[in-house]
Amino acid sequence: MSTATDYPFGFLDSYAKKEVRRTVLKAIAIPGYQVPYSSREMPMGRGFGTGGLQLTLSLIGEGETLKVIDQGSDDSVNAVNLRHFIELTCPSINTTTRTQEATLIQSRHRIPEQPLREDQVLVLQVPYPDPLVIVEPSETRRKVMHGEADYSRLLVKLYEDLVHFKEITISHRYPTRINGHYVIDPSPIPRYDVPKLHQSPALLLFGAGREKKVYAVPPYTLAEPLVFDDVPFRTEDFTDRVSGERRACQRCGSRDSFLDEFSDPNTGGKVYQCSDSDYCTQQQEQAHGE
């Protein structure tokens, strides 16, 4: 049976790490540009976070503190499996569930509620890196469109939504323009998280292992959702239509976080809870004076 000593630190060989790091540097130098790289085979299926995992394993160093979340939760199956694998192959690192304690955060589908700092790196797992794929099947043509900043067909798609449904129906993966040029797919984060990309103090990295692409939003970079001048960008609305008040988390009482909807097993009614488990726990601790 293989043990941690059978692998180099971080599982990947030095050549793979160097390539990923060079790719990251290019992605930072050209904000929003999708940089191709030789995505390695990992001991898990593509589509389960292999792109983000390769970024994490290439960047993490001894003594660093790692946090892994899946849709805001530290305890979901995907987050636990990735964390255990990284701990196995990087024995000298620390792990935490606290956002503020982490130097490197790997996430799927969420940006933490706690504001990130300049000394933190957020790695987001991306299934489909190109927002133009919904309007142009040819990658060759998409590259030309990105180079010319030609997103007219994407804007037409948004306009068609407004005509048919009276609102833009994209709930996640909302196309976002970076530094005034490239439009990215910000991974399947909800609209609620898109404003957090704008002028973020932390470095944001996006890894798509299956599609073999990496792109970045460097610290303090413009990130603007693709919208029309007369149709402002809207995030998810958690207002109760009956009371007119914003719904609160049933665990911590927070009214300023992204909420997940559940069905109460006893009453069958809808209940709401913070998506970010660490934020929810901290709110409860503050309420109890801990």
Active site residues: 32, 249, 252, 274, 280
For 84, phi and psi rounded to 5 degrees? -65, -40
Which CA distances in Å does 46 have to 8, 172, 212? 22, 21, 10
First-residue to last-residue Cα distance in the chain? 44
20 phi, psi to nearest 5 deg: -65, -40
Q: What is the DSSP letter of 149?
A: T
Q: How far apart are CA 146 and CA 70, in angstroms?
A: 30
Residue 279 has φ and ψ, to the nearest 5°, of -60, -45
Cα separation, 49 vs 75, in Å, equals 16
Tokens of 8: 């180099």
d(CA 252, CA 284): 5
Tell the burial category of 286 from Cβ atoms under 10 Å away from its Cβ (0-12, 13-18, 19+).
exposed
Sign of the C-alpha dihedral computed for residues 54, 58, 62 and 68 taken in this order: negative
User: Which residue is associated with the tokens 């601790």?
Assistant: 285
User: Judging by DSSP bridges, how do beta strands 213-217 and 35-36 pair with one another?
Assistant: antiparallel
The whole-angstrom separation of Cα 91 and Cα 159 is 51
Q: Is the dihedral of CA 50, 68, 102, 199 positive or negative?
A: positive
Tell me, what amino acid is at 38?
Answer: S
